[in-house]
Amino acid sequence: MNSLRIYNTLARDKQNFVPLRDGKVCMYVCGMTVYDYCHIGHARVMVVFDIVQRWLRTLGYKVTYVRNITDIDDKIIRRAVENGEPISALTQRFITAMHEDADALGVARPDIEPRATDFIPQMLGMIDALHANGYAYHAKDGDVHYAVRKFANYGQLSDKSIEDLRAGERVAANDAKEDPLDFVLWKKAKAGEPEDSGWNSKWGRGRPGWHIECSAMGCTLLGERFDIHGGGMDLQFPHHENEIAQSEGVTGQQFVNYWMHNGFVQIDSEKMSKSLGNFFTIREVLEKFDAEVVRFFIARAHYRSPLNYSDVHIDDARNALTRLYTALKDVEPDHQPLDWNEPNAQRFQSAMNDDFNTSVAVSVLFDLASDVNRTRDPALAGQLKELAGLLGLLGRDPRAFLQQAGDKGAEAGMTPQEIEAKIAERVATKQAKNYAEADRIRAALLEAGIALEDKPGGSTEWRRV
């Protein structure tokens, strides 16, 4: 079953996955900086790597999944000062909100969810080692920087030379640096900053740079070399490039075997950006759309492809997910274990083993749904439910899903009680042989987004469309 291939950003190719330790996988994913609510881009990272860890476990691996929390950085400090509250109060509030969002999306909690502030000694230890190894220097402004030119392989992950990077510099000029590309390891505390934003060190009171946080947490929790490191494509440079330089500058060995990066989220074909005003938080989206529909919307695209978010695309995802639930509405799954020898399951497995190709895997679910609709076979219904479950889908009662409002704002238009009352009125008119009125009620309900299905025996079921 295990012929997994992963697209490794470092190699720029798909590679056979061979873990460092037989039967075990260590995976680190860059998590959220908790000064605000998570946005739809964060939702993609959460769902993508939730599916990755689910599939690794399906393959029989014992997985240690670490997704960190950045709970100290400049944005956090600024927001806490603006709000007039302790940093810990700010970050805990948004950690709680992040967990609520992840839970709604069906994202399992990582095995370990470290907070950066709990690893300050490890960060200082790495900075000390980098200084001893000649990679770090204490600048005249009090900050400690990493000397990028000292690391021979800098640029390997982003496939750029130092000269390429200098030509397209994304860092502000700083006269204290030996080179504009050098990045901060330790920031000297500034006058007026809150007391809870700094720690004492041999370099003076200050706080860690963002990049060293993930190096320290990854190496401490998973070892100096581990299997998979993931995150959004925007982190490839400079964050992950800098992680490699830091970690390998300390250990002298390869930091990570496989680098995975999910694609950007676009809003109406334009890159999501606060400055453009096309920025949506997860909870804003979930106020309007069902959480499983949002998860399905993310899951049905290959993780490396761009994901174009719009209300139209979410509506399309809702209609597609409705088709899958409809297949299970009248066919009770047989509740048998998944049969991996069944042809659809084999195709699903091949798709997931091909760099977690959920796009193809979801197409298999639709083929199965068509077979269920045609054959009414409980065994095929069971296959559909079990395979979808590996992606975190189709876990609810089909009728409950089909009777909820697609756009939550539509719920106020017609309640289930009102719908049932109209159905009862239609039954009465049919009994009175007033078929024209019965047809009028049916048409009016359809106009309101309610489809009726008359069942054998005289009962009527309804669903939202």
Tens of pLDDT, residues 204-245: 999 999 999 999 999 999 999 999 999 999 999 999 999 999
Domain map (residue ranges) of the chain: 5-266, 310-402, 413-464
Does 243 show up as a binding residue in the annotation?
yes
d(CA 256, CA 180): 26
Query: For residue 408, what pLDDT is reported?
Result: 58
Query: For residue 429, what pLDDT is reported?
Result: 85
Does 38 show up as a binding residue in the annotation?
no
Is the distance from CB of 308 to CB of 268 less than 8 angstroms?
A: yes
Does 274 show up as a binding residue in the annotation?
yes
Does 26 show up as a binding residue in the annotation?
no
Residues contacting residue 16 through CB under 8 Å, at least 6 positions apart: 3, 4, 5
Query: For residue 169, what pLDDT is reported?
Result: 55
Q: Which among 103, 104, 78, 102 is positioned nearest to 91, based on CA atoms?
A: 78
Residues contacting residue 83 through CB under 8 Å, at least 6 positions apart: 90
* Topology classification of domain 5-266: Rossmann fold (3.40.50)
Low-confidence ranges of the chain (pLDDT < 50): 410-412
3-state DSSP assignment of residue 310: coil
E-state strands within 212-358: 226-232, 256-262, 265-267, 270-271, 307-309
Q: Which among 370, 367, 361 is positioned nearest to 389, based on CA atoms?
A: 361
Using DSSP bridges, classify how beta strands 5-8 and 13-16 pair: parallel, antiparallel or unpaired.
antiparallel
Q: Which among 225, 169, 236, 224 is positioned nearest to 12, based on CA atoms?
A: 236
Residue 283 has which token pair? 């909870």
Tens of pLDDT, residues 26-67: 999 999 999 999 999 999 999 999 999 999 999 999 999 999
Does 239 show up as a binding residue in the annotation?
yes
d(CA 26, CA 63): 6
CATH of the domain spanning 310-402: 1.20.120.640
Domains 5-266 and 310-402 share a fold: no
Is the distance from CB of 462 to CB of 450 less than 8 angstroms?
A: yes
